[in-house]
Amino acid sequence: MTRGSLLVDHIGELVTNDGRDGDPLGVRRDAALLIEDGQVAWTGPARHAPAADRRIDAGGAAVLPGFVDSHAHLVFAGDRAAEFAARMAGERYTGGGIRTTVGATRAASDDDLRATVGRLRAEMLRQGTTTVEIKSGYGLNVTDEARSLRIAAEFTDDTTFLGAHVVPAEYADRPDDYVGLVCGPMLAAAAPYARWIDVFCERGAFDADHARAILACGQAAGLGVRLHANQLGPGPGVQLGVELGAASVDHCTHLTDADVDALAGSDTVATLLPGAEFSTRSPYPDARRLLDAGVTVALATDCNPGSSYTSSMPFCVALAVREMRMTPAEAVWAATAGGAAALRRTDVGRLTPGARADLIILDAPSHLHLAYRPGVPLIRQVLHNGVPR
Ligand code: NIG
Ligand code: FE
């Protein structure tokens, strides 16, 4: 018996994501899980459970890995509820509202921004998210991009420099100069706080040439590549991402057969963000088509004040099942192991020995209930690094 060990016992259904026996979720029934030093030390049948210092009785409930939300824009000020209301009354989403949030974010104090990230991070944790990626992208000048990332880095290791979110108003008639700023002084100020670089590659934001130039600078500075691609219409983003070895291309709402083929032949993850289609009343991406082609799919919230102001991975799982033709098992995998793959992380998204002890105890006997009982608070308890939260 190790000091400080914790046994989660009487688990009705344990989702390990170990992929054994052709079951991606690696479900074990009547199981137990031992935690030592913040990591999973052992899993197995409850009747073989080792002794431990402390014990949590799961009471026959389902236990699964904490959600890995690999795409979130949490550093911002203000909200855009009126823009949402206008959309629900028939207006189209164009991304034009990003500049509204940029104005509010630049005017906010560090403490205000930190409080917003903290509030949303806590909201996520209550809903089972134990790993989150956080992007900049509402500063769009050297000072405000760097401080956005500095604040994001207080909450996660997976910080992403999104200076190329849109061209800010003051550069509207000289986008080449803005790309020069992003690749030069802005990247230099952001890189110490960032693990990733991202570009919104879309009509009205950045074209393929600008996106390629910016991502190449980021790679040269040691950052990994991810992309917002093919959200509002077909475009070059997905294939550019594959060409550059991106960890993930995100949105993937409008794909050609060539885009799907490119993804299927790569190790780039397709991250789907159904909260964005929900909140912009747009057609959902076709997850079934990607899965059937052999593409690795992740689900994330895209939490941001414009296109998807949800922090809830269970909501995204339910949307993915109902609207995107994913099975509940595929959606749960995509929200856990898929998110980890999108962040190139092997320490999270699974509950096997050596993994970080990030787990959810559901108020339900099975992972199926996440989609079967949409909108119901089913997260009974969350353990993060082995610590009950
Ligand atoms: O992922 N598409 C670009 N960026 C965000 C939306 C940002 C906003 O509207 O404020 C997204 O949907
Ligand atoms: Fe986004």
Determine if ligand 1 sits within 6 Å of the CB of residue 276.
Answer: yes
Q: How do the residues of the chain divide into helix, strand and coil, expressed in percent and rounded to 5?
A: 35, 25, 40
Q: Compute, in angstroms, the gap from residue 375 CA to the centroid of ligand 1.
A: 24
pLDDT, residue 2, reads: 53
Q: Compute, in angstroms, the gap from residue 228 CA to the centroid of ligand 2.
A: 6
Tell me which residue of 134, 65, 77, 145 sits closest to 105, measured CA to CA. Answer: 77
Ligand 1 site-directed mutation target among 75, 92, 98, 230, most atoms within 8 Å of CB = 98
Instruction: Provide block-wise average pLDDT over 10 residues at a time, the chain (389 residues).
Output: 84 96 94 98 97 97 99 98 96 93 98 98 98 98 98 98 98 98 98 98 97 98 98 98 98 98 98 98 98 98 98 98 98 98 98 98 98 98 97
State whether the Cα torsion 285-289-293-296 is positive or negative.
positive
Interstrand relation of 27-36 and 6-15 (parallel, antiparallel or unpaired): antiparallel
The answer to whether 164 and 141 have CB atoms below 8 angstroms apart is no
pLDDT, residue 22, reads: 86
Ligand nearest to the CA of 99: 1
Q: 157: which 2 tokens? A: 């290791």
d(CA 137, CA 74): 10
DSSP symbol at 290: H
Three-state DSSP string of 200-268: EECCCCECHHHHHHHHHHHHHCCCEEEEEECCCCCCCHHHHHHHCCCCEEEECCCCCHHHHHHHHCCCC
The answer to whether 94 and 133 have CB atoms below 8 angstroms apart is no
The answer to whether 267 and 249 have CB atoms below 8 angstroms apart is no
d(CA 150, CA 104): 18
pLDDT, residue 21, reads: 81
Residues 6+ away with beta carbon under 8 Å from 236: 201, 207, 208, 211
Q: Compute, in angstroms, the gap from residue 273 CA to the centroid of ligand 2.
A: 8
pLDDT, residue 20, reads: 87
Q: Facing residues of 355 across strands?
A: none
Residues 6+ away with beta carbon under 8 Å from 280: 87, 92, 93, 307, 308
Q: Facing residues of 297 across strands?
A: 270
Tell me which residue of 346, 343, 348, 356 sits closest to 385, measured CA to CA. Answer: 356
CA distances from 280 to 87, 231, 305, 379 (A): 7, 11, 12, 27
